[in-house]
Amino acid sequence: MASAYAVAVHDLLVHLGVPESAFTGGDITVHSPIDGGTIGAVHATPLAEVAPLIERAHRAHLAWRQIPGPRRGELVRLFGEELRAHKADLGRLVTLENGKILSEGLGEVQEMIDICDFAVGLSRQLHGLTIASERPGHAMRETWHPLGVVGVISAFNFPVAVWAWNSALALVCGDAVVWKPSEITPLTALACGALLAKAAQRFGDDYPTDLSVLLIGASALGEALVDHPQVPLISATGSTRMGRLVAPKVAARLGRTILELGGNNAGIVCPSADLDLAVRAIAFAAIGTAGQRCTTLRRVIVHESIAADLIGRLAAAYASIRVGNPLEAGTLVGPLIHGAAQEAMETALARAKADGGIVHGGERVMLPGSEGGCYVRPALVEMPAQTAVVAEETFAPILYAVTYRSLEEAIALQNAVPQGLSSSIFTNDLREAETFLSAAGSDCGIANVNIGPSGAEIGGAFGGEKDTGGGRESGSDAWKGYMRRATNTVNYSGALPLAQGVSFEL
């Protein structure tokens, strides 16, 4: 059945520069989670075409690596301009295809713009070190060179930003990009391709064709990308299950990976915390994006002395939240991506109940006119202990609450899950905050004080430890993952002294 938004999606895609033939008459049907109806039918990339496309991208890289970094940055600057000009349309399309509320759809495009700005500056700063040589008349330095084709595999929940994080850096670093977006969100991927093509057209003749390639379809295409020897780096975002399949394959051919996998993020709430602030931060982190962020707050670990107060306030906040159409102002929770996500939520809540959990919320919400969408009331679950279900990532809005007595115990609970993405502590006690951030504190890639675990800025390196995969993307020095390092030693003397005092007289 066609979605009530099919025409709107059609018009947005055309306006963004996607030819109608790309999203009609194809073999992959795309649904809007808003009402479950169809909004497009895209054409899957034939599996046999993956290798030739990668080879073409490799050739594009050979030309692109010769273009000076700041000139490569100009392409990303132009792309950022296209994103600014089309932010409203692309943000709306994200909402229509993915179901996140409009403000978050727009925020996702803003994140793309931010990483473009970052990458443009970076294009003039791809610098290495000069290093003191132990030998007289010698100079040592390191240089950073383009790597090759970067294979990007992305998840449905950030359908455009994850590609931009990777592409903006990879392009200024002199790499080509082959992108396998989620099969659930191909329309936004087509729109990104069209906007980059507009930028490329303005860039000029030194833009190599096939510098950025799109593979539309299911995981088999991702597998072909992962297996290809001409892809030195695979940057894969998605479930830990996917990461476990991808990592050994890339390792077997001695390729590199950036893995951005599942999270199970906690917030510790201490007796000194500002509870008004904590409740707002927790609500956004736990409920935002309908609990479908890798950094979603899934566990609150609260001191027993304030637990009743915090849970009472959270329950009141949860009860007041509007679940509904993500396009409408005032809605804070849109639909889950599909029925399977809702089933996973129901199963997790049943397990939590069986473990002695007290569940607030979590029921299905039927929206008149959008009965095909999977809307749920976010769930808050008081748990007697951190049981097996709490240690799993259920990709839905479930917040488990457990209590603690000592900070040591709270940190141990926070770290006692397989995942290690993001974490936070709410406290006004300096000792508690610094302990949490210390080597003996949170074991996550992201650790925050008095803000929730979600909503990272692009300036910092993004990623996590343990089952989250260990990759880092976005800001700081994450760019180094997209380049290869060469150490150079130059002898400008007439002598040939050997390192470590070795003598080798002919």
Residues assigned a catalytic role: 260
Neighbouring residues of 501: CB distance < 8 A, sequence distance ≥ 6: none
Pair of tokens at residue 172: 């200024």
Give CA–CA dist 338/322, Å, rounded. 19
Report the relative pairing of strands 483-491 and 138-146 from DSSP bridges.
Answer: antiparallel
Q: How far apart are CA 317 and CA 455, in angstroms?
A: 20
Residues 6+ apart with CB under 8 A from 506: none
Nearer Cβ to ligand NAD (238/357): 238
| Structure-block tokens of residue 386 | 């951190």
* Residue with smaller CB distance to ligand NAD, 208 or 243: 243
Cβ-based nearer residue to ligand NAD, 140 or 245: 245
Tell me whether residue 292 or residue 427 sits nearer to ligand NAD (CB atom): 292
Question: How many Cβ atoms sit within 10 Å of the Cβ of residue 430?
Answer: 10
Between 146 and 469, name the residue whose CB sits nearer to ligand NAD.
469
CB of 296 to ligand NAD, least distance (A): 8
Nearer to ligand NAD, 64 or 165 (CB): 165
Encoded tokens for 130: 């000069």
Q: How far is CA 94 from CA 236, 250, 324, 374, in A?
A: 20, 31, 16, 17
Residue 217 CB, shortest distance to ligand NAD, in Å, is: 8
Neighbours of 173 (CB within 10 A): 26
In the complex, the smallest distance separating the C-beta of residue 245 from ligand NAD, rounded to whole angstroms, is 4
Residues binding ligand NAD (CB under 6 A): 153-158, 180, 182-183, 218-219, 222-223, 226, 237-239, 242, 245-246, 260-263, 294, 393, 395, 421, 468
What does each C-alpha distance from 385 to 219, 354, 356, 423 come to in angstroms?
A: 37, 12, 9, 19
Q: How far is the CB of 464 from ligand NAD (least distance, A)?
A: 6
Q: How far is the CB of 57 from ligand NAD (least distance, A)?
A: 17
Is the four-CA dihedral 488, 229, 219, 341 of positive or negative sign?
A: negative
Provide, rounded to whole angstroms, the least separation between the CB of residue 460 and ligand NAD. Answer: 13
- Of 95 and 123, nearer to ligand NAD (C-beta) is 95
What DSSP string runs through 27-58?
A: SEEEE-TTTS-EEEEEPPPPGGGHHHHHHHHH
How far apart are alpha carbons 96 and 39 in whole angstroms? Answer: 9
CA atoms within 13 A of residue 503's CA, in its CB half-sphere: 1
The length of the chain in residues reads 506
Number of helices (H) and strands (E), helices first, in the chain? 15, 23
The two structure tokens encoding residue 399: 């917040």
Q: What is the DSSP letter of 374?
A: B
